[in-house]
Amino acid sequence: MPILTLKLSDNARIQSTQALAQGLTQLSADVLHKRADVTSVVFQRIAADGWWVGGEASDQVLMQLDMRITQGTNTEAEKAAFIAQAFDLLLRHFVDGQQLHATSYISVQELPASDWGYGGLTQQQRRELVQTL
């Protein structure tokens, strides 16, 4: 049940946010083996005067993609592959000619199964329910 939060500077021009959300969902399923039906993708736009790198504003697109997953569900190699492929996927969705700033970040954040969930149940509770069936 991952959630992906994509922060973009407001100068970013994406061909289709729906296509990008679908691509990120599919990538998390293919590379990290996450269920697409419970994967959330959230887009946030950040104004130019709200994002600084090294104390300076940039004309290039700034991006930060954070993904939350349950701790211990993926290998280091899988997470590294996701980060590399997500970066390439994002580049393909920007309108031609836009440059992505070099300090654009992607993180895969692992949370203990007891610390998050959906539908009112933690991931740990969901595991325990499956084991008792």
pLDDT in tens, 22-80: 999 999 999 999 999 999 999 999 998 899 999 998 889 999 999 999 999 999 999 99
pLDDT-based confidence at 133, cuts 50/70/90? low
d(CA 110, CA 94): 28
d(CA 70, CA 89): 23
pTM as predicted: 0.90
Nearest residue to 85 (alpha-carbon basis) of 109, 65, 112: 65
pLDDT-based confidence at 89, cuts 50/70/90? very high
pLDDT-based confidence at 130, cuts 50/70/90? confident
Cβ burial, residue 130 (10 Å; 0-12/13-18/19+): exposed
Q: For residue 100, give every residue at least 6 positions away whose Cβ sits within 8 Å of its Cβ, in sequence order, or none.
A: 60, 61, 63, 90, 91, 94
For 106-118, how does the pLDDT look when each residue is reduced to its tens digit (9 = 90+)? Answer: 999 999 999 988 8
Asked if residue 1 has pLDDT above 80, the reply is no
Asked if residue 84 has pLDDT above 80, the reply is yes
User: Do the Cβ atoms of 48 and 87 come closer than 8 Å?
Assistant: no
